[in-house]
Amino acid sequence: MVVLEVLERFGHQHFCSGNWSHKQANTYTHGNSRMVVLIYIYTMNKYRKNRIIYTTLLLVCVVLFWLFDNFYTPAPYSLPEGEGDRTEIPQWLWPSSTTGEIVQHAHFALSYNEAYEQAEWVAYVLEKSHLTYDDRKRPLFLEDPKVGSGSADWRNYKGSGYDRGHLCPAGDRRFSKNAYNETFYTSNITPQDRDFNGGVWNRLEQQVRYWAKKDGPLFVVTAGVLERGLPSIGEEDVAVPKYFYKIVAKGQGENLKIIGFLFPNKESNGKLDQFLVPVDTLEKMTGINFFAGLPDEQEDKLEAGISSSGWRF
């Protein structure tokens, strides 16, 4: 194609005659060399023009991606009050809040601690009917519009080396699009070691689902232990917890059973029951009263010790 375009531009009659003399042959030889030079010049000019076009398009794409990455915000995932299904948490199961910043979404609730840019607890009810295998499209992480002080921007986690770990697992909320999407509010995430998040913590989440299938509904409350002196990530100084806890309760009245776990924020091959602790220990570490709605005598009895009776591992 390049040769044809050059011939069209510079003529081809000199290169297409029949019987040539020696002089004509010499002329052709020089002409042929000139043609090669012209082809090279023409090709390089086209290459430069194309390179400018491609470079411009690449720069435009980079700018658009940067604008999307830094300024695009999707619509909130929460439904208007009074619309859609909701999973209610019994009032007597609500933990206390050290901050007063309690947020209730359709399918989980939380107490946000602005000083650490994450929830001090996330609580939810897990029923057997919630455990579906619906294929949900993963949404973007989004700041929680219900947190008055503003939850942390997801960009704090970029390049930190930590996972955006869910507290209320997305896998427990596949039963509806709204329930699933709400778990991607940044008020529901915390910096977790990648191997921990995909390892022992994931094993615990699967264990809780097993219990829900067998003995649900369950009440679950979980978060990182927020304390002074924690390392942080991002421009907003999102605290990186050294420990994570999870408390699970089932039954009610005299048949109520509770079990508490405490994990370092790192992977472990240990059995889950090796991480059992009294709920009293977790209350001392967090400053949260987890079962304030229970009668004092029952609360003291349930929280004082470790009992795995009735919890099949």
- Give residues with Cβ within 8 angstroms of 290, minimum separation 6: 95, 96, 221, 247, 279, 282, 283, 303
Answer yes or no: are the C-beta atoms of 291 and 258 closer than 8 Å.
Answer: yes
Do β-strands 102-104 and 109-113 pair in parallel, antiparallel, or remain unpaired?
A: antiparallel
Catalytic residue among 105, 107, 130, 166: 166
3-state helix vs strand vs coil in the chain, percent to 5: 40, 20, 40
107 is catalytic: no
By the 10 Å C-beta count (0-12 exposed, 13-18 middle, 19+ buried), 158 is classed as: exposed
Distance CA 243, CA 166 (A): 15
Residue of 198, 191, 138 lying closest to 161 (CA atoms): 191
In the block, residue with structure tokens 């042959």: 25
Give the whole-angstrom CA distance, residue 256 versus residue 250: 6
Q: Amino acid letter at 113?
A: N
| Per-residue three-class SS string for 63-104 | HHHHHHHHHCCCCCCCCCCCCCCCCCCCHHHCCCCCCCCEEE
User: Which DSSP helix (H) or strand (E) runs through 259?
Assistant: strand 257-264
Q: Which residues are catalytic?
A: 166
